[in-house]
Amino acid sequence: MPSRRIPDLRALELKGLEPSRDANLSMVDNLYKIAESTTIETANWYLQRRISPSRKSKFLRAAAAISIIIGAVLPLIHSVAPSLIQAEWGFVFLALGGGAVLFDRTFGFSASWTRYVRAGLALQRALANSQIDYVKIYVGINPDSPSSSDIASLIQVVTQLREATNAIVEDETVSWVGYLNESVEELTRSTTRSSPTSPQIKNDERELR
């Protein structure tokens, strides 16, 4: 019987506040619902996006671990039973393990997985704090005749939520761009180190010396 994936913990909308007949307060409340909905959709997007890289990351890490273990055990088996298997096969499996790790680092599956989870949780935390702040102010005012300072305080909560959401998304994007550049540079260095030097180039280097 296939196992079911445990559902993610999703952020919830703020409900149960007394509706207001004041036009200004109703407008602010609608603004907060828009900001709240945007934050929830963004957090859910990150949590949904992390599923694919998490599976690929787990597969590559398992493949790397198994390959390295086999590569380390094969020389021992060869020492006990030389006719059973050649010790050189251990290097093959070690290379496969290293290739799986390099593949993961190049395409950033593990990094994307952790980055998406971190961004989703940060958005949920920002939303929860904002909902608490909004309720603290809302329950202390008269919904039908709020003061200008009350309206300003609620608008400040809305602004903080929008700024926190944008900051988290921007930080995640900057991290993604930085990791992408590092991966390209690392792949270029690996390719340069592994490319053989032709005999003609070696002869030219000797002549220059």
Q: In angstroms, rounded to a whole number, what is the distance separating the alpha carbons of residues 172 and 112? A: 10
Tell me: the pLDDT tens digits for 19-76?
Answer: 666 788 888 888 999 999 999 999 999 988 888 888 999 999 999 999 999 999 998 8
Confidence of residue 167 (pLDDT cuts 50, 70, 90): very high
Helices and strands of the chain, counted as H and E runs: 6, 0
**Eight-class DSSP state of 4:** P
Q: Say yes or no to pLDDT of 7 above 80.
A: no
DSSP one-letter string for 51-110: HHHHHHHHHHHHHHHHHHHHHHHHHHHHHH-TTT--TTHHHHHHHHHHHHHHHHHHHTHH
Residue 139 confidence (pLDDT)? 87
Confidence of residue 174 (pLDDT cuts 50, 70, 90): confident
- Cβ-count burial of 125 within 10 angstroms (0-12 exposed, 13-18 middle, 19+ buried)? middle
CA atoms within 13 Å, Cβ hemisphere of 138: 22
Q: In angstroms, rounded to a whole number, what is the distance separating the alpha carbons of residues 131 and 32? A: 9
Residue ranges per domain, the chain?
23-29+36-182
Q: In angstroms, rounded to a whole number, what is the distance separating the alpha carbons of residues 92 and 115? A: 32
Tell me how far apart the 2 most distant CA atoms of the chain are, in Å: 91
Tokens of 69: 């273990």
Q: Say yes or no to pLDDT of 18 above 90.
A: no
Single-letter amino acid, residue 108: G
Residue 11 confidence (pLDDT)? 59
pTM of the complete model: 0.70
Residue 2 confidence (pLDDT)? 47
Q: In angstroms, rounded to a whole number, what is the distance separating the alpha carbons of residues 122 and 45? A: 13
